[in-house]
Amino acid sequence: SQTIHQWPATLVQPVGSPLSLECTVEGTSNPNLYWYRQAAGRGLQLLFYSVGIGQISSEVPQNLSASRPQDRQFILSSKKLLLSDSGFYLCAWSVTLARTGEQYFGPGTRLTVT
């Protein structure tokens, strides 16, 4: 069966520090991968998605970036964090070109920028 991992689970970082969040998927090949952010008490904002290694689409211009160095690895980064980057970051995957297109989510990383 497929599983999705995210780490770290919790992170507290000062303003201006760098960020690296990692997501890996097991049990599937060539998945679509997604990064979402959920601000406190709010809905989901799609940040990036990827349909293959090295292929990244950005949904919202900001100081975050994403990379996909391996088929089942998706990394979210920032060179300098802002207070507004605080939130709950969720990684998700889906089957490429699936008829129904449901996404499966990881456990999330809670980021607090101080």
Partner 1 sequence: GNSVTQMEGPVTLSEEAFLTINCTYTATGYPSLFWYVQYPGEGLQLLLKATKADDKGSNKGFEATYRKETTSFHLEKGSVQVSDSAVYFCALRVDFGNEKLTFGTGTRLTIIP
CA-wise closest residue to 85 among 106, 104, 109: 109
Question: Residue 27 interacts with partner 1 (CB under 8 A)?
Answer: no
CA-wise closest residue to 73 among 10, 110, 28, 18: 28
Q: Which 57-96 positions form the footprint of partner 1 (CB under 8 A)?
A: 90, 92, 94, 96
Closest approach of partner 1 to the CB of residue 59, in Å: 8
On whether the CB atoms of residues 30 and 54 are closer than 8 A, the answer is no
Q: Which is nearer to partner 1, 57 or 114 (CB)?
A: 57
Question: Residue 102 interacts with partner 1 (CB under 8 A)?
Answer: yes
